[in-house]
Amino acid sequence: MSDEESGSSNVRPLRIHEMIEDEVIDVEYGLTPKPFNQFSPSMVGYCKRQMYNRKFNLTSMDRYVKGILHAGTVNHFWLEHHLPEMVQDRAVETEKRVRVEVPVDDKDFDLYVYGEADVVDSKGFVYDHKFTADVSYVSDEPKQKDYRKVNMYIYGLSDVHTGQLEYVTRDGKFQDASENVVTHTFGFDEETFNATVENMKEVAEKVRIAKMQGTEHINPFDKCESDCFFCEKEVLRPEVKEKLGRNKPDGNLNDDE
């Protein structure tokens, strides 16, 4: 083929994978301002330290985790646009909005949870679909972070009585459900809900104080001592490290602080 047929010899084909890496996988998300007492269902599943980190966008997400989340986002897009027409025996609603107030007796504020659930059906089930690297870790019980999230959905959605968490290995091998898919179905757990609300109250109070004092970059909650993947893998953003470093007498800051 001649240059005239193929276009200018200076024109090169797009490198689409590089654009995806730069604009989708490696993109950094900024802070979306919200009231101190407003949380998303996803946020309430974390420990208090990580809830605070996400309130102020203090940490950088691991690139490996970003890749899994991106795969999940693509899958959720498909669910949103195609699942309702595939289910004939019950009405299905995707990206169901959750807007709920959680009254608080011992504070001068109430709590609010705003977000979207993956799928809700007319039989009273709310579903949360998760990609994970290895379903063996959730074969006996769901991740507590996910459990608390879905439990909040059950609380916040009218006519919903049961939640189902579905974990799928990220390689998408659906054909052998025994090895690649794990589901957990459960009703509302009041004890877990109350514990979640206590965490939310503490975080909301600290967030309010930090905003007033201008100390948003200082997390008042210690890392979990054990069994917390997100505390173990926590990486502070460079600008947060820099702010913390300036507050130290010697101007130094270790990577894990």
**pLDDT, tens digit, for every residue of 213-243?**
999 999 999 999 878 888 988 888 888 888 8
Distance CA 43, CA 39 (A): 6
Please tell me the pTM assigned to this model. Answer: 0.78
Output the pLDDT for position 157. 96
Output the pLDDT for position 44. 95
pLDDT confidence tier of residue 64, bands split at 50, 70 and 90: low
Asked whether the predicted pLDDT for residue 18 surpasses 90, the reply is: no
Output the pLDDT for position 126. 94
Q: What's the mean pLDDT in 79-98? A: 69
Output the pLDDT for position 253. 40
| pLDDT averaged over every residue in the chain | 80
Could you tell me what percent of the chain has a pLDDT over 70? 70
Distance CA 194, CA 44 (A): 12
| Rounded alpha-carbon distances, angstroms, from residue 97 to 22, 58, 114, 118 | 30, 27, 8, 9
244 — alpha (psi -120 to 50), left (phi > 0) or beta?
Answer: alpha
Asked whether the predicted pLDDT for residue 20 surpasses 70, the reply is: no
Q: Which of 52, 23, 112, 81 is nearest to 240 (CA)?
A: 52
Q: What's the mean pLDDT in 119-147? A: 89
Q: Residue 39 pairs with which residues in a beta bridge?
A: 113
Output the pLDDT for position 254. 44
Collect contacts of 113-116 with beta carbons under 8 A, ≥24 apart.
Answer: 113/38, 113/39, 113/40, 113/41, 113/44, 113/152, 113/156, 114/38, 114/39, 114/40, 115/40, 115/41, 115/42
Q: 35-246 sits in which CATH class?
A: alpha beta
The position carrying tokens 């998303």 is 40
User: Could you tell me which residues come within 8 angstroms of residue 2 by beta carbon, excluding any fewer than 6 positions away?
Assistant: none
Asked whether the predicted pLDDT for residue 194 surpasses 70, the reply is: yes
Instruction: Count CA atoms closer than 13 A to 194's CA, side-chain side.
Output: 4
Q: 145-161, pLDDT tens digit by residue? A: 999 999 999 999 999 99
Q: Which of 36, 31, 34 is nearest to 203 (CA)?
A: 36
